[in-house]
Structure 1
Amino acid sequence: MADELRLVLLGGYRSGKSNVAHSFLNVKYESDQITTQCVKMEGNVHGRKIILVDTPGWWKWDQLCDTPKRLKAELVRSTNICPPGPHVFLLVIDVELAFSEKHRKAAEGHMQFIGDDIWNQTIMVFTKLKHLGDKTIEQFVELQGEDLNKLTQKCGNRYVGFDTDLDTDGSQAKELFRQIEKLVAENKGHFFKVDATRLTDLEITMKNVKEKAAAREHQVLEKRRKLEKIKSADAGQDATPLNIVLLGWVLSGKILAGSVILDADISFDKTVKCVRTCGEVNGRQITVVDTPSWWKFLPHQLNADSVKTEILKAMDSSPHAILLVIPADTSFLEEQMKVILENMRPLGENVWRQTIVLFTWGGSLGNNPIEYHIESEGDALVGLIEMCGNRYHVFESMTDDHTQVNQLLEKIEEMIKESALLESNDEHQRKKKKSQEREILSEWLKVEDVKKVLNEEWERSDAMMKEMLKTRAVRGGRSIDLPLHLSGEVINTQLFVNKQQLKGALEREWNRREAIDSSRIQYKQKCLDDNADMSSCVDDTDIQMSLVKVHNWYQRYHLSDYGSVSSNEELDKTDQD
């Protein structure tokens, strides 16, 4: 038997895990505390040293992929903070609600994420037993149906009931301890151990996330300091009325966020039309417009017809700020990014300049800053934050908290100033772009017109060649002149060509032609001169016959695509033929 017993508590959010841990070790417990990170506790039970690790709970109906990565990391880490590993896992399930297939799949997914062999070392602990009424825990398991039976079978039918409010004589705690010792004995004291490589990779990942989170926090603070200096020059702006629009997916916490901002009563009715609420915050008039929510997982085509219409209607008020509400207690994947982009696309590209990501349920972060959540979720959430100009805020408490509201309003003011600076820069860029477009447009020529000019110039070159053959004179050709009035209103690379690019290409085209033509004339002139040296008494008839011969050769062998003869040797060969 091991000298100490190492236990890890697992279970859904608000299942009663922490209550079990503290009661089992007889340690005082604050019932309103939420476990957001692994908590290691020690105590003595019946003379045995107990090391117990409490873990953050998962949403009881959520699939593993919908759990934040930071929480999944804590589940794996729990096995490493009670080295060399836990003897027993206690899977805590409350009996307050009926146990469904969703609950079973959520439990199986999160447990097996730690390791497939976890079931051999797991005991189920049922809590909140007062909801059983007259039924025993055995009757509850039997009557709950197939899904709970499947889960208990995975755990080797090992389960106990434990409710500290009902355990007045300590019999439930004793039974739990007996079950733990029995399982440890059956496993011959062996403990659960996660693959060392996986733990090393996890440590490296967590370290990188912390470094990136610190860097992002520093970057945001530096940006805010610069904007604060600019904003201080317009201090009076803080007294002007402020219009805010809330956007987000279903159950994101938009309604609660609005109530936190205005410190107003809330309604949990579904928002099907824009709801405009006005209030005063620090002597300033604030209008908050809640909009109908879109689906979190489904494409925008499946939204209610009113969603797009009402969101566009909310924009008619020219809001100063758009708060994109995202809960911090769930994962953020590429599919969520895609859904958000689809639903915000009708608002235009500039909407991101007025958008701040507002994270709700920040209490689930524990001691971790919001930057840790952003970086741990990865590329999708990081990309969204950067689309919003690295602007974000978190409501750590979903109740009235003047500090977090004041900080949000400060960030909105900074965003308004930043947006004004961007608009000013945009106007400058628009003017510059129009000027550049006019310059660029003047450099483009219609393709059909250019083709006509090229054909005419080629024919002109042919005529010049014939003239040189007649006069036996070699003259330099002139560069092709393009009509400057040729231009188009719309630049289309299939219909227009660029003047500057065309100029370079024409120089290469005509240089090659002139070189070959000149070479041909010079070579033929040399042949005529050599013939003249051989006979000093050549009459006009001989000269005329020679010129006719050269002219006939040129008519036979010159081609419109530069000609196929390009060397003196080839010229000589054709002449011999």
Structure 2
Amino acid sequence: MNNSAPPPYPGMLTIAIFGTNMASKIQVEKLILGSSDTNGMTSKDFSMKENSLFKIITTKDFFEECPYPDQRTIDFMALSHPGPQLFILAMNPENSNHQAVVVQIKKLLNVFGDSLISHLIVVLPDEDCYNSLIHLRDKNHIELAIQNENLARKCKRWCEDHYEPFRFDFHDYSERVVRIRKLDLEQKRLNGHQMWQPDAEDTDGETSVTSGATSANPNGKPRNPFNIVLLGLSGAGKSASANTILSTAKANLKDCFRSEPSSLPVTTQCEEKTIGNLYGRLVKVVDTPDFFNKGIPDSEAQIDTCKRYLREQCVILLVFQLGRMTQTENNILGKLESKFGQNISDRTIVLLTHGDDLEGSLDQFIEIHDHLKAIIHMCGHRYHLFNNKSKDSKQVKELTKKIPQYKKDKNLKYQWQCPTQ
């Protein structure tokens, strides 16, 4: 038997605090974070604070009635994705009896599943309460702790002893919905915005999951533009595809991107063109250089520029020329993720160009090209074909239907759906 101590838990520890008494939850939060500098953000239902070791998600009364319970649950899952290391149920002195604790635990289990019990600590206000509930620890294997200065150390040690974090089972909610909502909240945070929950009066009478559903935020201010960012190697057809999108918006020739056959890169820096309205937002089409071409001047500055577009709401079009898959293109998604982050595949549509050269079915073509098939699989099976010689706007309209969006169905469950246009 290996008696060595478990390795320290890697990275920041995510802890979620639940309970009915806000004062008790804030006290637990302060004990864990201590006096160190913290960063944070808030919404109607959550506050999130973090220091170098802990990320603390403190819920309001999570189980009280509200007009959007599914949205609240999805937001919590997004903030803590793929799952917290630790759930804390903070009890106050007036409500620390056996029945009150059991009721709160059952509510947590009903939402997050029975496996939560092995990741739960009930934090009690004093030693008397602790002693009165010791039977829960002994008979039901529920971890107990006391609100004191040792709480942060206890939480860290507990996470190290339980190396695997809690994982959501995604039985009631799609993981893709949660991951994209996580991206949405992260972008708001990077832009210095508060997390936003939908108001009761939505433009279509339904609760929207993302902030891109309407043209203004709850304060009436215009929303950030939506970016269509084209990535790919030289010669794949990025600029020509960007111009195809612009042509649907009836852009003038002078407003188009430079596109011509050439042995050298034609696009050497990030360029943008602003077009019409999509999902209630102004849309920017962003053409980019081949970031893997050594002939691009000041490539690091261009990468930084591209990152700024990707930090906003966007879709990425990863462009390949039909039938041309070099070794660099085979590995391009991994290389792009190393430059721009591992979550870019969640926002990517594979765009194939030279559709006029296709003989037979596109699905059959993909099926026999293993590297292309693998890239499409990593991008959530989202792909589209352009014939940039065609003036038919239908191919652009069909592309917009594949942009990742959410919509609430009639059963009030959130599912991954293409938007209707």
Normalising by structure 1, we get a TM-score of: 0.29
Structure with greater helix share of residues: 1
Greater C-alpha Rg: 1
- TM-score scaled by length of structure 2: 0.38
Q: Which structure is higher in RCO with an 8 Å CA cutoff and minimum separation 6?
A: 2
